Amino acid sequence: MSSREPTISNRLTCPFCGNDGNFFQIAEDAIITTYFRQNADGSFTQEENESQVLGDIKLFCGSCEEELPPEFLERFTEMVF
């Protein structure tokens, strides 16, 4: 019986630095609407957010900050739950 742990073959790995844990997206031309409720003491509480992206969305490596190829963004989008 093997003591090797199973590996996940579809993990994204940055082709520039090898990072496979941290990524970020940038959305261009986005409209973000935030709804607030005013409290009795005059302060505000955020209720919800809505966003609409009108431009491109790009995926970047969270370590070296290089822009990743479009196929990485496609795979990333498929795997966000």
**Is there a domain that residue 57 lies in?**
yes
**Is there a domain that residue 14 lies in?**
no
**Is there a domain that residue 3 lies in?**
no
Give residue 55's domain range: 23-79
Q: Which pLDDT score, from 0 to 100, does residue 14 have? A: 96
The DSSP string of the chain is ---PPP--TT----TTT---S-EEEEESSEEEEEEEEE-TTS-EEEEEEEEEE-S-EEEEETTT-PBPPHHHHHHHHHH--
CA atoms within 13 A on the CB side of 30: 14
pLDDT band at 48 (very low <50, low <70, confident <90, very high): very high
**Is there a domain that residue 15 lies in?**
no
pTM (predicted TM-score): 0.73
